[in-house]
Amino acid sequence: MPNNTALWLPAKRATALKVGPAPYTAPKAGEIVVRVHAVAVNPMDRLMQTVGDLITPYLAYPFVLGSDVAGEVVEIGEGVTRFRLGERVLGHAVGSDKARNHAAEGAFQTHAVLLAHMAAPMPEDMPFEAAAVLPLALSTAACGLFQQDQLALDPPSLAPRRNGKWVLIWGASTSVGCNAVQLAVAAGYQVVATASPANFDYVKSLGASLVFDYRSNSVVADIVAALRGHEVAGALAIGLGSATASVAILGQCQGKRFVAMATPPASFDAVPAGQGRIWRLAPVLMRMVAGSISLALKAQRRGVRTAMIWGSSLLGNEVGPMIYEAFLPEALASGRYVAAPAPLVVGHGLTHIVQALERQRRGVSACKLVVTL
């Protein structure tokens, strides 16, 4: 039996993550075990350490965080026929989802258990570091675009036919945005996006037809003018303030007035896990409540519906297999879908994940922080 090592979150709101031994967990039916070679970090990993008692109160501690995995299959559970031993795969580790709540299914360890329908084979020429940027961002974008309780777009295809409808992706150079642009285009939609001017060409290379500067004072009016006479299929909003702007735009457009939101109205980034937590947390919660009420009133006045995205909810519906089984393997192999944004390798070994999380908190642009194992 292989030895396993993990980066543990020892307890609720623990101030430090700790590297230590972890049990090797054999796969059950419908699961695989992956020897992890690269992981990426996400804002959710930091939030689960500092405010996990609010957003994931069900977690059983000690716990292993992390969602993005790239590695090799070392064991296959009953009924799994899509993979072979030694195969290179990427996958979304969903241990932090309420339906799973299992440390063995966290990404930040040398051997992680994955649901087979949440994993996909990698092209032989794709580095593990590049593959690791995909899973959570891809899943979040897919949930927002394709779930029936979100935008409910047509499924992605390897040979899409344009349907004449437009999708707004606010925050297109983010990890979620890069995937949302590609998925929407693969589903036959045209994309109008926002990004900083430095990332315009990059976002267009992913398939966006129009890109606007999200900092511009006239960006809402400019996008409304660009969409005049066209039918919209909704918006996916990423980043603080994105939902308010998206509501303002869709409220003046023809078509489906629905905003799928990947970002809440206030940021928890400044809330520490330890001393001083309550003094930082209280004003954030007040901004969260006030922002939610304000957004709901604006959306109601403009006839726009909104819903928050939970990035792992696709594990229990048709969207998970749609993406990881039916679309992604051939899309990656054929080059029709690219791993985006680009990986930025921070270091090698579980201890470097802590450094990556801190660097991410300070902000990154058009890249995703990766650690190799």
Kindly report, residue by residue over 138-186, the tens digit of the pLDDT: 999 999 999 999 999 999 999 999 999 999 999 999 999 999 999 999 9
- Of 105-119, 169-183, 280-294, the one with minimum mean pLDDT is 280-294
Is a pLDDT exceeding 90 seen at residue 272?
no
pLDDT band with cut points at 50, 70 and 90 for residue 15: confident
pLDDT band with cut points at 50, 70 and 90 for residue 98: very high
Backbone dihedral region of 358: left (phi > 0), alpha (psi from -120 to 50 degrees) or beta?
A: alpha
Domain 4-134+339-372 has CATH 3.40.1280.10: no
Question: Structural domain boundaries of the chain?
Answer: 4-134+339-372, 139-308
Q: Which CATH superfamily is domain 139-308 in?
A: NAD(P)-binding Rossmann-like Domain (3.40.50.720)
For the segment 320-329, the average pLDDT, to the nearest whole number, is: 98
Is a pLDDT exceeding 80 seen at residue 25?
yes
Look at residue 10 in the predicted model and tell me its pLDDT: 95
Look at residue 271 in the predicted model and tell me its pLDDT: 82
CA distance 167 to 232: 6
Looking at residue 334, its amino acid is S
Look at residue 364 in the predicted model and tell me its pLDDT: 84
CA distance 261 to 153: 15
Is a pLDDT exceeding 80 seen at residue 273?
no
CA distance 229 to 257: 15
Look at residue 193 in the predicted model and tell me its pLDDT: 98
Look at residue 86 in the predicted model and tell me its pLDDT: 97
Look at residue 7 in the predicted model and tell me its pLDDT: 98
pTM, to two decimals: 0.96
Strand partners, 372: 38, 348
Look at residue 267 in the predicted model and tell me its pLDDT: 84
Average pLDDT, rounded, for the chain: 95
